[in-house]
Amino acid sequence: MKVIDIILTNEKLSLEKAVDFVRAEQAGGIVTFVGTVRNQTKGKKVIRLEFEAYEKMALSEMRKIAEQILFDFEINSVAIYHRTGNLSIGEIPVVIAVSAPHRKAAFAACEFAMDRLKKTVPIWKKEFFEDGAVWVSAHP
Amino acid sequence: MKVIDIILTNEKLSLEKAVDFVRAEQAGGIVTFVGTVRNQTKGKKVIRLEFEAYEKMALSEMRKIAEQILFDFEINSVAIYHRTGNLSIGEIPVVIAVSAPHRKAAFAACEFAMDRLKKTVPIWKKEFFEDGAVWVSAHP
Amino acid sequence: MEIEILAFGITKDIIGNKSLKLKVETPCRVRDLKILLKKDYPKLELLTSLMIAVNENYGDLDLLLQEGDEIALIPPVAGG
Amino acid sequence: MEIEILAFGITKDIIGNKSLKLKVETPCRVRDLKILLKKDYPKLELLTSLMIAVNENYGDLDLLLQEGDEIALIPPVAGG
């Protein structure tokens, strides 16, 4: 059975697709994380975001995360989707879904995957304000 | 703004509806839990499940959980849906969605809500096997 | 006074009905009601736990029942 | 040898291009490349961090670059 689904795309992400992928008859629970573009950063109004990816390496790092959580946690399957390009407020840059026989493992694995994604996956976020744009986290 | 959505129904639950409810422009992340009916319990094949609720009290206990996590965690909004009646393998008895400015709070609040739901909400589950049926957890 | 008690889950099976009417002496506390019921229906004693809800809230053992209260038997819950 | 380096995010802005070609002495380690680049583009020094990916993996500072390696500048990532 296929237990890992990785997608990097400039089209809208589907939470339903991720949940359908990880749903399994032996799973008891599914935990998902859905990122959404916030309308402000440290009180400053954000107009839109742009995500750039080093595509091949991003896919490979996303897969590494999926493989690691399958190894480290008692889970059944995992879907990790990330979007690239321009996103408006409220749109979804990332979706992670994890299914497991018991929910504790699903929660822990999903949170771990998301923490890891933000650290290792070569994707960059540019925030556009009314008076300019900034690459997030680039400078201390 | 409405920040709590509670549903108890004998119709199919919609994860999309829950996510749409908790989505907010100031939210950065949404964590959901989706329960699914497992095909076995302790190795014994389950054919279907039946959920019975003390409806008015179940709704009130679900609302108490929502209010408590809004009070205890830095979250924006929460949806808690539970289904009643007959469910087949793979169907969804419960959906919880929590949005928050930061994902850590969303994960913690969603997991807490689910743990609590299993302890306090007056809903009972009957598992049907090939050779009979059992009310889950009724006996030690 | 006479009280009506709703039964759910396995307690509905044990009592053989989704509700029952019971004459109790006043004052009657949740504790007293549990003792009465377990005498009439010994199978209730075998459950992992048995809570009594009074007006849609979990009732403390010391809670005094009033005429007209909505009383319900809450065997171990198992939602989700 | 001549190597080609891909640039992403803010490093693309700093270098003014999405890739650059660079002549380096051999042997050249990731460490040496970082020193060279920071000399040519001092703004790279101001970043929170700068990793070098070699063939789509994070490259250790001691990693020896080979002709034909796919090399990329990885400024602080911010997915999700």
What is the ipTM metric for this complex? 0.94
User: Over pLDDT 70: what percentage of chain B?
Assistant: 99
What single-letter amino acid sits at B112? F
Whole-number Å distance between alpha carbons of B62 and D15: 55
In a domain, B140, yes or no: no
B17 — pLDDT class (breaks 50, 70, 90): very high
Q: Could you tell me if B51 lies within 8 Å of chain A, comparing CB atoms?
A: no
Residue D8 in contact with partner chain A when CB distance is under 8 A: yes
Mean pLDDT in chain C? 97
Read off the pLDDT of residues B80-119 as tens digits, 9 standing for 90 and up.
999 999 999 999 999 999 999 999 999 999 999 999 999 9
Per-residue pLDDT, A119: 98
Q: Does C27 touch chain B (CB under 8 A)?
A: no
B133 to chain C nearest CA, in Å?
11
Please, what is the average pLDDT of chain D? 97
pLDDT one-digit tens code per residue, C3-29: 999 999 999 999 999 999 999 999 999
State the pLDDT confidence band at B25, using cuts at 50, 70 and 90. confident
What is the domain-level CATH number for residue A108? 3.90.1170.40
In-domain check, residue A119 = yes
- Count of domains in chain A? 1
The answer to whether residue A111 neighbours chain D at the CB level (below 8 Å) is no
Tokens of B71: 């009070």
Kindly state whether C25 is in contact with chain B, defined as any CB-CB distance less than 8 angstroms: no
A-B C-beta contacts closer than 8 Å: 89
Query: Sign of the CA dihedral C65, C67, C70, C73?
Result: positive
pLDDT at A24: 82
Cβ contact (<8 Å) for B57 and C46? no
Task: With respect to residue A55, please indicate whether it lies within any of the assigned structural domains.
Answer: yes
- In this prediction, residue A1 has a pLDDT band, given cuts at 50, 70 and 90, of low
Mean pLDDT (whole number) for B109-137: 97
Mean pLDDT of the residues in chain B: 96
What is the pTM assigned to this prediction? 0.95
D6–A54: do the CB atoms touch at under 8 Å? yes
Q: How far apart are CA B56 and CA B59, in angstroms?
A: 5
pLDDT in tens, A68-115: 999 999 999 999 999 999 999 999 999 999 999 999 999 999 999 999
Per-residue pLDDT at B24? 82
Which residues in chain A touch residue B15, judged by CB atoms under 8 angstroms apart?
Answer: 15-16, 19
Q: Which of A18-22, A37-41, A74-78 has the lowest mean pLDDT?
A: A37-41
Averaged pLDDT, B17-27:
90
Mean pLDDT in chain A? 96
Chains D and C touch (3+ CB pairs under 8 A): no
Q: State the Cα torsion C42-C43-C47-C49 to the nearest 10°.
A: -40
pLDDT exceeds 90 at position A2: no
Cβ contact, residue pair B38, A27, below 8 Å: yes
Residue D78: pLDDT over 70: yes
**Of A15, A33, A104, which is closest to B29 when you measure between CB atoms?**
A33
pLDDT tens across A122-134, in order? 999 999 999 999 9
pLDDT tens for each residue of B49-85: 999 999 999 999 999 999 999 999 999 999 999 999 9
Q: What is the pLDDT of residue A94?
A: 98
Does any CB of chain B come closer than 8 Å to the CB of residue C14?
A: no
Q: Per-residue pLDDT tens for D7-62?
A: 999 999 999 999 999 999 999 999 999 999 999 999 999 999 999 999 999 999 99
Of C46, C48, C53, the CB nearest to B57: C53
> In chain C, which residues have their Cβ closer than 8 Å to the Cβ of B117?
79-80
CA distances from A18 to A59, A96, A121, B94, D76 (A): 16, 7, 19, 18, 27
Whether residue A140 is contained in a domain is answered as no
**pLDDT given for residue B1 in this prediction:** 64
- The predicted pLDDT at position A72 comes to 98
Q: Are B121 and B58 in contact (CB under 8 A)?
A: yes
Q: Within a domain: residue A21?
A: yes
Q: Which CATH number describes the domain made up of C2-74?
A: 3.10.20.30
**Domain limits at B23?**
3-135
Q: Which two tokens stand for residue B103?
A: 């994902």
Nearest CB partner across the interface for A94, out of D53, D72, D80: D80
Q: B126 CB near a chain C CB, below 8 Å?
A: yes
Tokens of C3: 């009280």
State the count of interchain CB pairs (< 8 A) between B and C.
Answer: 78
How far is Cα B83 from Cα B94, in angstroms, rounded to an integer? Answer: 6
For D25, residues 6+ apart whose C-beta sits below 8 A from its C-beta are: D32
Residue of B1, B16, B32 best to disrupt the A interface, most CBs of A under 10 A: B32
The span from the CA of C13 to the CA of C52, in Å, is 17
